[in-house]
Amino acid sequence: MNFDLTEEQRRIRDTLTAFAEREIKPFAAKWDKEETFPRHVIEKLGELGFLGVAFPEKWGGGGADTLSQVLIVEGLSRYDASIGLTCAAHMSLSTGHIAAFAADEHRDRYVPDMLAAKKLGAWCLTEPSSGSDAAAMKTRAVRVGDNYQINGSKMFITNGSVADVYVVMAVTDPDKGRDGVSAFIVDRGTSGLSNGRKIEKLGLHASDTAEVIFENVIVPARNIVGDLGAGYRQTLKVLDGGRIGIAGFAAGMARGAFEEARAYALERSQFKKRIAEFQAIQWMFADMATRIEASWVLICRAAALRDAGRPFAREAAMAKLFASETAMWATTKGVQIHGGYGYVTDFPAERYMRDAKLSEIGEGTSEVQRMIIAKSLLRDGYLPA
């Protein structure tokens, strides 16, 4: 089994690193403090082809594999998790949903502009009263002639107030339960589409998170993504793929926290010794690196299964679970290594810790991941590949 990156993957990683060092790292603290959404950076990423790296060339993508896309999310999150999350949601969820399930008419219309960041996407699943239990959603879409009228609201939507294209899950047949949920494409500017209150968050301040409201929103019936009633099944598949990306998002934060803590420990002195020379600090680094490396192996495994066309839901859940809990653990250790400086905004350690918490919640909490893993194990057993 070869764990080395391919030449193309190394090129993607190195090119992105150079971009992030120049365009993101010097400004991340300012964006976080001012809660600024740096759209111009997302647009540059689109212009350079980073957002389409794993999409087909016919839409302007790079035709690369899943791991290449994860390298983008991981590499961005290493410097600014807000940008990493913005791009993960845009690529894996909204653009990914359209590319995987929409009619050719909509793929050709939307995907090229989304890969180039001429249009940003938002994926509207979570509601004020339903999160992981997606089947409990209350947003309704009612057939009116050749159109559907959508009413309801979505909560905690990444890119919710800055998106140009929304993929919206809504109930089209309440009597059919999960088989009565459909996905719709809704363009910004459609009458009745608006945003609610600004959502203030613990971390990820430079990532746009908003409530999206639908009041008698009329969309053509042809804007249904795939088949009527297939929205919930599509959602599960989109989330499976998205969790690999969120695992990369988490691993990027963990690596960023490790690198900042290492630099600090090699410079900071205590009792006439660099704190990196103390065994207690060294063991923290050893544990941080081991968990980060294990996270990456799980990510590579899930990505390889996906690209091979094999079942990967359990492995994606494992990668997301372990990487997200590693991110929270490693960023906390990063703060501890910094001591008092880890608790103030002079250093990025506290930002990494605040940002990392979302990785244990978004796209399925750690508890939901454990449910997915356990259900698979009890149904299929466990046979290591």
Nearest to 154 by CA among 178, 138, 172, 136: 138
> Strands 121-124, 165-171: parallel, antiparallel or unpaired by DSSP?
parallel
Note the residue count of the chain: 385
Q: Which pLDDT score is estimated for 190?
A: 98
Q: What is the DSSP letter of 6?
A: P
| Superfamily of 122-229 according to CATH | Butyryl-CoA Dehydrogenase, subunit A, domain 2 (2.40.110.10)
Task: Write out the residue limits of the CATH 1.10.540.10 domain(s) in the chain.
Answer: 7-120
d(CA 61, CA 104): 16
Residue 363 annotated in active site: yes
Q: Which pLDDT score is estimated for 385?
A: 59
Options 127, 211, 325, 363, the catalytic residue: 363
Q: Which pLDDT score is estimated for 88?
A: 97
Q: Which pLDDT score is estimated for 134?
A: 63
Spell out a b/e string for 259-296, using b for 16 or more CB atoms within 10 Å of the CB, else e. Answer: ebbbebbeebeeeeeebbeeeebeebbeebeebbeebb
Choosing among 3.40.50.300, 3.40.50.1370, 3.30.565.10, 1.20.140.10, the CATH entry for 232-380 is 1.20.140.10
CATH architecture of 7-120: Orthogonal Bundle (1.10)
pLDDT in tens, the chain (385 residues): 677 899 999 999 999 999 999 999 999 999 999 999 999 999 999 999 999 999 999 999 999 999 999 999 999 999 999 999 999 999 999 999 999 999 999 999 999 999 999 999 999 999 998 776 766 899 999 999 999 999 999 999 999 999 999 999 999 999 998 999 999 999 999 999 999 988 999 999 999 999 999 999 999 999 999 999 999 999 999 999 999 999 999 999 999 999 999 999 999 988 889 999 999 999 999 999 999 999 999 999 999 999 999 999 999 999 999 999 999 999 999 999 999 999 999 999 999 999 999 999 999 999 999 999 999 999 999 876 5
